[in-house]
Every structure is written in structure tokens, then in C-alpha cells.
């Protein structure tokens, strides 16, 4: 294979993205999608790929990476008995939040995202990232809205909405599901553990949907299957595997309140810069 300068540059950029994504996941307890998507957006844009391609590829590749991270995470949390399987996958599948989250995720990746422009996806990501950053900056961890997670018709509505938004952003959903469970009376450690399962329910259907919907799209980066860039997936997933424990170890030595404040400010800056970039074109 001819290693062109562009491919070498992309590989180098992906090494940095993977390392940063893993560190952020370990430090802040969230998936790396909030880092991977904008990093791939700027890296691929600088190589001259079309704006309508780079955002889709960034989101799809992030989803593929999250599949690996979520499997590793949910196994670890399950070994400690922390996963709430009654929420994730109860005896009646229709009562499963994971089912409706996964359905919303697949629909978003298969039909919604391909019909949205790269600019629209970038703005959706930026708006939601800004809201998430506000939670990190101003959120009150002990605030509670309900005593239990909503049931009945709320399952497909809330679950489908979370899956759709998460797939359109290329995130694992922890930034949405952890606060939701926390304000509904689920202890924070149990919420984080269960969110790892929701991450898999989001990322796997989304990855499949992005592979199918992007299969024949022209102008994708080299080494892509559908919208998923294989080079990006392998590089980022491999680096994140090694840097997640480093981030977790570092987190125990620092103030979580200060870390979340710093991350919230950085995420807000990234979101605003993404909006500036797409609107300037």
C-alpha cells in the first residue's frame, strides 16, 4: 500500500486523538466521542475532504470505537455487580430502555444522518455538546427530579430520543443517560455502570447503520467501510485501550470538581469553534 503524505498525516493525527480520547474517558468518566468527533472533523477537514463527508465519517468512526470501549466497560462493571439489568435488559424486552435506545440509534445512522448535511450534523453536535458542557460546569450532582426512571410510554420516547441524539453526535450516551438516571434516583456509581451498557446499545446499531448508509458514498477517506474509517477505528481504539487506565489513575490524584469544570470549559470551546468553522464556509 502506498503510504501517501495525507495518509501518514491522518495516522499521526489519529494517534493523538486516540490518546486524548482514552485519557478523557478515564479522567471524566465519559466515552471518548466528545473528543473523537471534533478531532476527526478538524483532521479530515485539514486534508481537504468534503465537509459533508468528514462529519459523517467522524461520527461513524467514533461509534465503532465506542463499541469496543463499551464492551470492555460493561464487563468490568458487571463483575462488580454494578449494572442495573432491570433497566438495561429486563425479562420483557419491550420494557428495555436498551431496545428503544438501540432502535433510535439505528434509525438515526441508517436514515436520518445520511439525509442531513455535514453542516447540520456539526451544529447538532455543537449545540448538544454545549448543553453537556453546562452540566459539567454548573451541574448539581445531588439534584433529583423523580424517584424512579420513567416507565410506560416514556421508555420508547425517552429511549428513542437518547439513541437518536447520541448516534447523530457519535457519543456513547453516558453524557445523556448518567444525568437522566441520577436525577431519577439511581445512585451515581450504578448510573455510570448501567450507562456503559447503554453505550453498547447505541454504538453497535449506529455503527452497522453508518456502514450500510455510507457504503457507496463517494469522496470518503481511504480505508473506509461505509462511513467508518478503518484506520481511524483501529488507531483510536488501540491508543484509547492503553490510555483509559492512565486517565483513571490520574483522576484519583486530582479534584473531580475541578476536572469537570476544566472539561466543561474545553468542550464548550470546541463546540463554539466547530460552529464558527462550519458557518464560515
- Euclidean distance between CA atoms 160 and 261, whole angstroms: 29
Q: Highest mean pLDDT range out of 25-29, 174-178, 265-269?
A: 265-269
pLDDT for the residue numbered 1? 42
Write out pLDDT tens, residues 85-125: 888 888 888 888 999 999 999 999 999 999 999 889 989 99
- C-beta separation of 63 from 206 below 8 A: yes
Entry pTM: 0.86
- 225 — phi, psi (to 5°)? -115, 110
Q: 24 or 237: whose pLDDT is higher?
A: 237
Q: 6 or 20: whose pLDDT is higher?
A: 20
- From residue 46, alpha-carbon distances to 60, 123, 144, 218 in Å are 19, 19, 44, 18
Domain positions in the chain:
5-280
Write out pLDDT tens, residues 195-233: 888 989 999 999 999 999 999 999 998 889 999 999 889
- From residue 209, alpha-carbon distances to 18, 90, 108, 193, 213 in Å are 23, 25, 8, 25, 6
pLDDT for the residue numbered 31? 61
Amino acid at each position: 500500500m502506498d503510504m501517501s503524505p495525507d495518509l501518514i498525516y491522518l495516522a499521526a493525527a489519529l494517534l493523538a486523538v486516540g490518546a486524548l480520547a482514552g485519557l478523557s474517558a478515564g479522567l471524566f468518566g465519559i466515552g471518548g466521542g466528545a473528543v473523537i468527533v471534533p478531532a476527526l472533523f478538524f483532521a479530515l477537514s485539514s486534508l481537504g475532504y468534503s465537509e459533508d463527508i468528514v462529519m459523517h465519517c467522524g461520527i461513524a468512526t467514533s461509534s465503532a470505537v465506542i463499541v469496543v470501549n463499551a464492551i470492555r466497560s460493561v464487563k468490568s462493571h458487571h463483575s462488580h455487580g454494578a449494572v442495573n439489568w432491570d433497566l438495561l435488559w429486563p425479562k420483557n424486552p419491550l420494557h428495555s430502555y436498551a431496545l428503544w435506545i438501540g432502535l433510535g440509534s439505528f434509525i438515526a445512522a441508517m436514515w436520518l444522518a445520511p439525509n442531513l448535511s455535514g453542516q447540520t450534523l456539526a451544529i447538532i453536535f455543537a449545540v448538544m455538546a454545549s448543553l453537556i458542557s453546562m452540566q459539567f460546569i454548573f451541574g448539581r450532582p445531588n439534584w433529583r427530579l423523580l424517584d424512579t426512571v420513567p416507565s410506560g410510554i416514556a421508555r420508547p420516547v425517552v429511549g428513542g430520543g437518547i439513541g437518536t441524539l447520541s448516534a447523530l453526535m457519535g457519543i456513547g450516551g453516558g453524557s445523556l443517560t448518567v444525568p437522566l438516571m441520577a436525577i431519577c434516583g439511581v445512585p451515581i456509581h450504578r448510573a455510570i455502570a448501567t450507562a456503559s451498557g447503554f453505550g453498547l446499545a447505541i454504538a453497535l446499531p449506529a455503527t452497522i447503520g453508518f456502514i450500510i448508509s455510507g457504503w457507496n458514498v463517494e469522496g470518503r477517506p481511504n480505508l473506509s467501510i461505509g462511513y467508518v474509517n478503518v484506520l481511524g477505528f483501529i488507531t483510536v481504539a488501540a491508543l484509547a485501550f492503553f490510555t483509559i487506565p492512565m486517565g483513571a489513575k490520574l483522576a484519583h490524584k486530582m479534584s473531580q470538581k475541578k476536572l469537570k469544570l476544566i472539561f466543561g470549559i474545553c468542550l464548550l470551546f470546541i463546540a463554539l469553534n466547530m460552529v464558527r468553522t462550519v458557518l464560515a464556509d
